[in-house]
Chains A and B, each alone.
Chain A
Amino acid sequence: MTQEKQDTAVNPLEGFLRMERIPHIWCPGCGIGTVVTSFAEALKKEQLDLDKVAVVSGIGCTGRVAGYVKLDSFHTTHGRAIPFATGLKLANPEMKVVVFSGDGDISGIGGNHFIHAARRNMDITVICVNNFNYAMTGGQVAPTTPMEANTSTSPYGNFEYSFSLPTLAEAAGATYIARWTALHFRRVTKSIREALNHKGFSFVEVITPCVTLYARRNRLGDGLNLLRYYYDKSEIVHNADTRTLDITYQGKLVVGKFVQKEKPTFLDAMNTHLGNVLGDDYQLYGRLNDDRD
């Protein structure tokens, strides 16, 4: 085998993945892997020191991302990835802390943590893979399931109103918000790059097919068809009013970068405020490695 051929046989993400844990558990046609690839691409393009990037996941299909990335990676409890990330970031502010989890984890069981981290403008990035259902447990109805959609716990169709996550994020105080579908590969990558560079709470939602459960129950075709469908149904409206982003069953998807603004982060606000009030008595917080020696 020539050197060239050997090189092409190597997974392009090898340095980024825990290859000993591959194959992964995701179904063929699932979009989570695509989002992970976008994330890896974003890290590569930004030339970030991977020793300083942590991934925190909750529970669920997307919750398994932490287990496959060759970074400091934390697979935590259901819904609690964001407060875990908050503790990690505050303890070690030099790190880029990325929460990678699903819609149920972030907006259902972890919804309270989501809004409060956004409110504090905690300097973390949240990548939410939204597949409209609780997939790991068998495709149950989620806070993001569009009305009418059939799931295993809405077998006659969903009659609950659903969350629009960018709307929620902006109302709570997030300072960077974007939404794409998994097939917007380059745009997802670009948004993740912007999110990683953003100081403050950044949120990237990626709409992704759940081919095994959501798509099958609703007879929406295979993964590629559905990816394509979401892509075709999307309309890019940058800076769209986030109150106009509701998702309807198989309806139009407004995507784009909706919010990008500057606001002091939790730590900046803490240091500024306590410095002003306490003067020289205040021990400025967040110097690198200040607790090790």
Chain B
Amino acid sequence: MRTVKADPKGVLTGSHYLDGDYALAEGALAAGCRFFGGYPITPSTETAERFSERIPHVGGVFIQMEDELASIISLIGAVWGGKKAMTVTSGPGFSLMMENIGLAAMMEIPLVIANVQRGGPSTGLPTLVGQQDMMQARWGSHGDYAIIALCPDSPQECFDLTIKAFNLSETYRCPVFVMADECVGHMHEKVVIPPADQLDIVERKWYSGPKDKYMPYKNDADGIPFLVKAGDGYRFHTTGLTHDERGYPVINAEAQDICVRHLCDKINNNADKIIELEEEDIDGADVVVISYGITSRVAFRAVQLARKEGIKVGRLRLITAWPFCEKRIAELAPKIKAFVVPEINYGQMVREVERSSAGQTKVVSVPHCGGWVHNPLDILAAIKESVK
């Protein structure tokens, strides 16, 4: 993994008052993203608008595609063309992208998709918040593969985590999701963008051996294959079919085992390196509240109130939702009385907490169907109930 300093052309250094959607676009530009294929959808559209306004000054392409099927696959083409690429969407568009998210996973394409989540299912609540696409992010396309998903809780993190998302995508050669939500996307806050020379950017893992020896799916020592750019004389092939190291289709169970195992293992085996959590007062806690995105800010209020009532409450915020921090949960489970998991869905990530706890502690879901954030008092009530 080789890092370089960010290209100053894309970095809007300074202190800004931005909404989360704009901050996603600024994060992408700072990370070196020079191709954006988008399709408008509330509440994510502002990211595309910002990118389309900024890119002519930076050098790159914004194209508004005819639908989300086209926007996601235009990114895959652009990555093979040598660019870093991003798109942004929300639930209904995310559903449409699933087909080629699978292709990106199969072709091992580094790209970033931000999902500014709204309430679903279907058209649902276009302008109101949800966190209902968390399982879809992990399992939405057919077949087995692994992805990485990050959850910003503020406009500042929309900027920071988009850069991180690009860096992870280049490191592990896979699609990475920034799972924002409508509240974070539309919230205006201070966003500090550092000078370019303070931003470490992971470079694409370019192949540099003999041209006729290049194999797009031959793993390097770190388990991740090299990439090349089309047009540079490698004359390679790649496919969405199960393939061998050369990228040639091979339709049998042995090839499938190698191919699929690799797609999953390259993420799962590096989970410890990938996962980032924010923890507070976990040691000695009776209850740990697990949350992510906007809900972590609401849950913080509930935690404060519970502490005032003398309950020992710790906080664990999932900055990385996928891969899931199953080891950490398993480690904490026998030491505490309960996990409390508020999220703006009818209970999604809580299933992972239950699975990882393996019956060693109580797991309390605090579901919310979307449209607004939790009332902190509802989370407080769950905390109090859980320690009884």
Contact = CB atoms under 8 A, between A and B. Distances in A.
Interface stretch (B54-62, B328-336, B364-372): B54-62
Interface residues of B, number: 47
B74 interface: yes
Contacts of B236: 72-73
Interface residues of A, number: 48
A108 interface: no
A77 B103 contact: yes
A131 to B, nearest CB: 21
Nearest to B233: A51
A113 B67 CA distance: 9
A109 to B, nearest CB: 9
B37 interface: yes
A85 interface: yes
A74 B238 contact: yes
B225 interface: no
A76 B230 contact: no
B88 interface: no
Contact of A283 (B59, B69, B79, B80): B59
Given A51-B233, A56-B77, A70-B235, A290 B66 contact: no
Interface in A60-89: 66-67, 70-77, 79-80, 83-89
Contacts of A18: 237, 248
Contact of B73 (A71, A84, A284, A289): A84
A266 B9 CA distance: 24
A219 interface: no
Contact of B37 (A79, A87, A282): A87
B211 to A, nearest CB: 9
Contact of B60 (A54, A70, A285, A289): A285
A91 B61 contact: yes
Contacts of A281: 56-57
Q: Which of A72, A80, A91, A113 is most buried by chain B, counting CB atoms within 10 A of its CB?
A: A91
A77 B240 contact: yes
B231 interface: yes
B231 A90 contact: no
Nearest to A86: B74
Contacts of A83: 37, 65-66, 69-71, 73-74, 77
B239 A80 contact: no
Given A67-B248, A76-B103, A90 B70 contact: no
B50 interface: no
Given A21-B248, A52-B231, A75-B239, A91 B35 contact: yes
Contacts of B238: 73-75
B75 interface: yes
B235 A50 contact: yes
A51, A67, A83, A92: most-surrounded residue (chain B CB, <10 A) = A83
A67 B100 contact: no
Interface in B217-255: 229-241, 248-249
Contact of B230 (A67, A95, A113): A95
A92 B82 contact: yes
A275 to B, nearest CB: 9
Nearest to A25: B249
A22 interface: no
Contacts of A160: none
Contacts of B248: 18, 20-21, 67
Contacts of B78: 87-88, 90-91
Interface string B75-89: 111111111010000
A153 interface: no
Contacts of A88: 77-78, 80-81, 230
B118 interface: no
Interface in B277-308: none
A98 to B, nearest CB: 12
Nearest to A83: B70
Contacts of B70: 80, 83, 86, 112-113, 116
Contacts of A95: 81, 230-231
A84 B233 CA distance: 20
A197 B65 CA distance: 25
A77 B100 contact: yes
A87 B56 contact: no
Interface string A140-182: 0000000000000000000000000000000000000000000
Contacts of B99: 77, 80
Nearest to A114: B66
A261 interface: no
Given A83-B73, A87-B73, A88-B81, A54 B66 contact: no
Nearest to A54: B230
B57 A282 contact: yes
A72 to B, nearest CB: 4
Interface in B88-103: 99-100, 103
Contacts of B74: 83-84, 86-87, 90
Contact of A285 (B59, B75, B241, B249): B59
7 contacts: A75-B239, A83-B37, A91-B79, A94-B231, A113-B66, A283-B58, A292-B229
Interface of B: 9, 34-35, 37, 56-61, 63, 65-67, 69-71, 73-83, 85, 99-100, 103, 229-241, 248-249
Which 3 pairs of residues, A with B, have the shortest CB-CB distance? A91-B81, A87-B77, A87-B74
Given A83-B70, A88-B77, 9 more contacts: A75-B240, A80-B73, A80-B100, A87-B74, A87-B80, A94-B231, A95-B81, A112-B67, A282-B56
